[in-house]
Amino acid sequence: MRRRIAVVGGGPAGLTFARVLHRRHHPVTILERDPAPDARPPGGTLDLHENLGQLALGKAGLLQEFRALSRPEGQAMRILDADGNVLRDWRPRPGDRANPEIDRGQLRDLLLGPLDVRWGRGVRQVVPGTRDGVLVRFADGRQETFDLVVGADGAWSRVRPALSPARPHYTGVTLVETCLDDVDTRHPGLARLIGDGSMAVYGVNRALVAQRNSGGHVKVYAQFRAPLDWQTRLQRPPGPDRRTDIGTDADTDIPTDTDADTGMGMGAGDAEAMRSSLLALFDGWAPPVLDLLRHGTAFAHRPLYVLPVAHTWDHVPGVTLLGDAAHLMPPLGVGANLAMLEGAELAESLAAAPGDPDEAVRAFEERMWARAGRWAQFTAAGLERLVSPDPADALALFDEVQPS
């Protein structure tokens, strides 16, 4: 197989796809809009499931390296009520590696390895069926053709319109992220409250979740039901720190200031307005729990979007999708795992297809749709229970999925 293959997006799905083909000596062109690997924060931590993400890393020959970097202790999960009482405290058994945690940045660097990425190559449009193959038009005006283009470019994919008119829609749940640094030294009480892994507190239509990353870094997520434009109603002070509302690309109606992966960062004035609004939203919760918000050092607004649960498309030769580009779902620990396994499986299918790869891609899509549809249903129902009028729904869901 010496066809011209491009994958759009240098996230877990695209890099796993390219790494598995690289292992089989098949070149892949990786097109990534970021100008460099460290152009923006890589995000939080991921728990890689034994039968999903870890299976994909095994296909890429990286499982041992992953185990050296991962944090099995990060599987710990503690649930509190709004008064600060511990309701559940799950801890991994010795040697348990079913869902160890790894920082997204560490995973990205592990997957990158020897891969050749074209940084700063934002894709504007993909046009299948041209005389020379699949035409890729770049944001800088250049263009190039390939035999196969794989869209692994996330929620607001520029590849998806070549296959499907579907667009992500707002779930009704908004997430605001903040973070704590050097938590064990600067905030030892919060460090003990969080434990070795994650801690969650569930209330009426809202929740606070804290999750350890490596190096004493903690991500904190406030989740609540609200209108999509709720943040524009904050009483923000005027001045140079104030951000404008989210804009759109006139050609595609795709948000230009935010997406489901990166969120919208805030200037200092907006951040303090956000902190005050969140403290008011969670008023009455235990002071140690609210300290997660009081001591947060930055804020990012992340409204949660999803694609239709049963998102499929008519097969188009030369183009396909992976991960969030194909089946954006609520972030309940499954999306990156599915995306990585899909990347690995598609790569293996292509490597095993000595002739025309189109049938291999078509068969892969059928398998992906069936599996992703099941997970999309599960995560959609899970989000309804985790951010619900009855906090007992969230506790019951964890009792069902956590090992006894």
Please, are residues 260 and 324 in contact by the beta-carbon 8 Å criterion?
yes
Angle at 177 between CA 172 and CA 181, to 5 degrees: 165
91 — phi, psi (to 5°)? -130, 140
Structure tokens at 161: 């319109």
Please, are residues 94 and 9 in contact by the beta-carbon 8 Å criterion?
no
Furthest C-alpha separation in the chain? 66
Please, are residues 213 and 220 in contact by the beta-carbon 8 Å criterion?
no
Asked whether residue 38 is marked as a ligand-binding residue, the answer is: no
User: Where does 36-132 show beta strands of DSSP type E?
Assistant: 45-47, 77-80, 86-90, 101-103, 117-119, 123-130
Asked whether residue 104 is marked as a ligand-binding residue, the answer is: yes
Please, are residues 291 and 333 in contact by the beta-carbon 8 Å criterion?
no
Q: List Cα–Cα distances, 270 to 231, 232, 235, 275, 368, in angstroms.
A: 10, 10, 9, 9, 41
Asked whether residue 283 is marked as a ligand-binding residue, the answer is: no
User: Where does 34-131 show beta strands of DSSP type E?
Assistant: 45-47, 77-80, 86-90, 101-103, 117-119, 123-130
Give the residue from 366, 358, 312, 339 showing the smallest Cα distance to 5.
358
Asked whether residue 47 is marked as a ligand-binding residue, the answer is: yes
Annotated binding site for NADPH: 40
Annotated binding site for FAD: 47, 104, 324
Annotated binding site: 40, 47, 104, 324
